[in-house]
Amino acid sequence: MSVKECPNHGKCRRKIFRRIIAGILIFILIVLITILLIWAILRPSKPRFILQDTTVYAFNASTPNLLTSNFQVTLSSRNPNDRIGIYYDRLDVYATYQNQQITLRTSIPPTYQGHNEINVWSPFVNGNSVPIAPEYSASLGSDQSAGSVFLMIKIDGR
C-alpha cells in the first residue's frame, strides 16, 4: 500500500487543523473575558472639562483681516474615576472664531490627575496680528460692533 492510498492521513490533518482553530478561538475568548473583567472592575469614564472664567485683555480687529487678542482662561478638569488616575502628557489651549483658529496654542505643563481629583489651570491665550479669512472679517466686525463675539475655547491633548 502506498502513502497516497492510506485513508488515515486526511483524518489526521483535519484533527490537527481543528485543534489549531479551537486553540485560537479559546485564546480570543480568554482575551475578551479579560478585557470585560478589567472594564467591569475599573469602569473607566472620560474626564470632564469646564471653562470657568475668561478675562479679555485685548481684542482688536481694526486692521483689515488681522486680529490681535489676549485672553486669560480658567479651566478645570475633574476625573470622575474611582480607581484610575490620568496623566496629561500634553494639553494645548487655543481660541477659534467660526472654526478658524485666532490664537496660538498655549501649552499646559504635563500633569497627573488622581482619582476623583479636580485640577484648575489659568493659561494666557493670545494671538498677535493673526490673519483672518476675508469672509469672517466682515462678520467679526459686525459682531464686535454689536457688542458680543462668540468664541470657542478648545483643548487638544493626549
Judge whether 115 and 83 are in contact, CB under 8 Å.
Answer: yes
Q: Dihedral through CA 33, CA 38, CA 43, CA 48, nearest 10?
A: -120
Judge whether 118 and 80 are in contact, CB under 8 Å.
Answer: no
pLDDT higher than 90, residue 4: no
- pTM recorded for the entire structure: 0.75
Residues 22 and 81 in one domain: no
Residues spanned by the domain of 32: 3-42
Residues 16 and 91 in one domain: no
Extract the C-alpha cell encoding 55.
478675562
> Does an H or E element contain 120, and which?
strand 118-121
16-59 pLDDT, tens digit per residue, is: 999 999 999 999 999 999 999 988 888 889 999 999 999 999 99
If one compares 5 and 151, the residue with the highest pLDDT of the two is: 151
Count of domains in the chain? 2
80 three-class SS: coil
Residues 29 and 8 in one domain: yes
77-130 pLDDT, tens digit per residue, is: 999 998 899 999 999 999 999 999 999 999 999 999 999 999 999 999 999 989
Residues 37 and 59 in one domain: no
